[in-house]
Amino acid sequence: MGSMTSSTITTREDDAEVAPVSPPLTMEAFLADIEKRAYHMAAYAAGSHADALDLLQDSMIKLVTSYSDRPPAEWKPLFYKILKNCIRDWHRRQKVKNLLFFWSNTRADEGYEEWPPTTAKSDDSENPEAEMARSQHQAAALKHMAQLSEKQRQCLLLRSWEGLSTAQTADVMGCSEGSVKTHYSRAIAKMRKLMEVDHEISF
Amino acid sequence: MKSPSSHQGGTEQGEDIEQLINSALDQSADNLSERVLADLAQTRNRALRAGHEEPAATNFAESLSQWIIQPLPRVAVPVVAVVAVAVSLNYIWTETIPPLSLAMVAEEMPTEDLSLLEDLEFVTWLAENEQDMRL
């Protein structure tokens, strides 16, 4: 759990023991490190590139303007909390907008781009068939992520991908640790089921 | 049920679903298009710029909003506003213009004009007297 290959910020205790003393993290470095993962969360929630960027920008601005003076260790949960609130507000605005302008197609703007991307990228390797199958499974996993509920997806992304603890995830999501565990197990079960049905894979 | 790739010795089936999801997300994050990466960099720079510009603009607004919600200003500001409007509407200007001193008038005005003014005052007095007598 906690794939942090692209991350320089980690919550693992063993990493902290062996890690050399590093200079204090700047806000710019933190944002650069977190932006891709946060973009995925926002894009899954909003379903488009343009809206995801808006959500990301609002969250970043709020973090920079209000919490720059906080210790860098607090930035990650704070940022995801802000992003989660921005996503919630965005959904509310969309609901009102759809009620008021039910006759117009709000998705017809030029900046709209479907999320997740449907094409799977395949790296060159010694076993192209296995690599192709792997890429297809990964693309399917990304596609099935969109079918999870908002809370299940957020829980999965925060706990599994971002590596936050149950307590931190509960704090970010504004629910109890028990709810986090429930959301997480349901998300895993649903993903497993979707993958098994779609690709006849058993986990 | 097994996937067809299991017969080719693929490792996908052995991986846990969590690992598959994480690797898929990592792969997706690593393979974001140039356009998306450029947009993300632009978004980050905008946020950092806003962080440098925002405090000066928001400090006044924040301090004003903080001050206005205090108990005393919340009562005092409307009262002062009502009193100010009432006074401005009902105020009567009672102060008269002070008369010019005779010395200054005598020095600056020509003698003919002064006598003309005296005649005018006398005629006005006569007219007022006649009006009083009629009443």
pLDDT digits (tens, 9 = 90+) for B42-95: 999 999 988 777 555 556 666 776 676 677 777 888 899 999 988 888 776 666
Q: Is A121 on the interface with B (CB under 8 A)?
A: yes
Q: Is A195 on the interface with B (CB under 8 A)?
A: yes
Q: Is B34 on the interface with A (CB under 8 A)?
A: no
Q: Which residues of A touch B2 (CB under 8 A)?
A: 200-202
Radius of gyration of chain B (CA): 45
* Out of A57, A156, A203, closest to residue B46 by CB: A57
pLDDT digits (tens, 9 = 90+) for A83-107: 999 999 888 888 887 877 766 655 5
Confidence band (pLDDT; 50, 70, 90) for B41?
very high
Question: How many structural domains comprise chain A?
Answer: 2
Structural domain includes residue A30: yes
Contact A176, B59 (CB under 8 A): no
Structural domain includes residue A2: no
Residues sharing a CB contact under 8 Å with residue B26, sequence separation 6 or more, in sequence order? A3, A5, A6, A161
Query: A133, B10: Cβ pair inside 8 Å?
Result: yes
Structural domain includes residue A189: yes
A45 and A96 co-located in one domain? yes
* Out of B1, B21, B44, closest to residue A202 by CB: B1
Q: Is B39 on the interface with A (CB under 8 A)?
A: yes
Question: How many angstroms separate the CA atoms of A171 and A25, rounded?
Answer: 23
DSSP secondary structure string, A14-45?
A: HHHHHPPP-PPPPHHHHHHHHHHHHHHHHHHH
- Looking up residue A171, the CATH number of its domain turns out to be 1.10.10.10
How many residues make up chain A in this entry?
203
Query: B51, A65: Cβ pair inside 8 Å?
Result: yes
Of A49, A75, A106, the last residue of a domain is A106
Contact A6, B29 (CB under 8 A): yes
Q: Lowest mean pLDDT: which of A61-70, A186-195, B32-41, B84-93?
A: B84-93
Provide the whole-model pTM: 0.60
Which of B25, B30, B37 to substitute to test the interface with A, most A CBs within 10 Å? B25
**Domain-wise residue ranges, chain B:** 16-69
Q: Is A46 on the interface with B (CB under 8 A)?
A: no
Its domain, for residue A41, covers 22-106
Burial of A180 (0-12, 13-18, 19+ CB in 10 A): buried
Smallest CA–CA distance from A131 into chain B, residue: B10
